[in-house]
Amino acid sequence: MPTLTTRDGVEIYYKDWGSGRPVVFIHGWPLNADAWEDQMKLVADHGFRGIAHDRRGHGRSSQPWDGYDFDTFADDLNDLITKLDLRDVTLVAHSMGGGELARYIGRHGTSRISKALLLSAIPPLMLKTAGNPEGVPAEVFETIKGGMLKERSQFWKDFAPAFFGANREGNQVTQGNLDAYWLLAMHQSLKAGVDCVTAFAETEFTDDLKKFDIPTLIVHGDADQIVPIDATGRKAAKIIPNAVLKVYEGASHGIAVVPGEKEKFNQDLLDFLQS
């Protein structure tokens, strides 16, 4: 398997498909690079080079005890981009991965980056606070961590319907979507899973978003039950200079794989890459 060793000795798995201008996909929690397979093949079929890595503690990457914070994740991404010597990169990030993308730009700038796409992403802040009343209450995150610690396999099965909107009337979610979610989630270490909840709940990305100086597309469903659009996508679009926000009416958190939502997103992704 292709891997790279980070500056602190962690082995990061990545997949590298096609050739052309690079598109680096950053997965959400609790998934891994396989969550982007449809889009990886799509961009490679259209003359781009698709690259996706498993975040530390996820999938086929090492499972260290520490380092589950966004500064570390951003530096891991920087290791990937610099060691592969990628330039003119489009970064595409889902959910928690949007925090990784934002912190990367905040810490490492855009000298190698040409565009950014945030899909159902967590910035600027997930946690409900006095200044972010649209956010998610702290007790919700504690319940998530408690569910994982009690019996993580069943927790993932119970969590998946909300992730994909399978609990909404008229949804097109397949059993395959739900099964694949469970499978990928079970390859995340429990330590990484719990620590990541704290990280994506509490990390503030406003200052990172202000440093974006590249074309940025934000895609978010207005029926997202995991990352509420009013606390995240709509606010990020106001902070990032000249960002374009596309709101998918009735769409879930799992836009990239749910039938109907996936095809629309794939076309928007291609249009953005080719613009």
Is-contact 63 196, C-beta < 8 A?
no
- Between CA 135 and CA 150 the distance in angstroms is 25
Which residues, other chains included, contact 175 with Cβ-Cβ below 8 Å and sequence gap of 6+? none
Tokens of 208: 């990172």
Residues marked active site are found at 95, 224, 253
Residue type, 104: Y
Say how far residue 274 (Cα) sits from the centre of its chain. 22
Phi-psi region for residue 222, left (φ > 0), alpha (ψ -120 to 50) or beta? alpha
Nearest-angstrom CA–CA distance, 85 and 213:
21
In the block, residue with structure tokens 């201008």: 21
Residues whose CB is less than 8 angstroms from the CB of residue 60 and which lie 6 or more positions away in sequence, other chains included: 1, 3, 13, 32, 54, 187
Beta strands in 54-156 (DSSP E): 89-94, 113-119
* Cis ω for the linkage preceding 241 (within 30 of 0): no
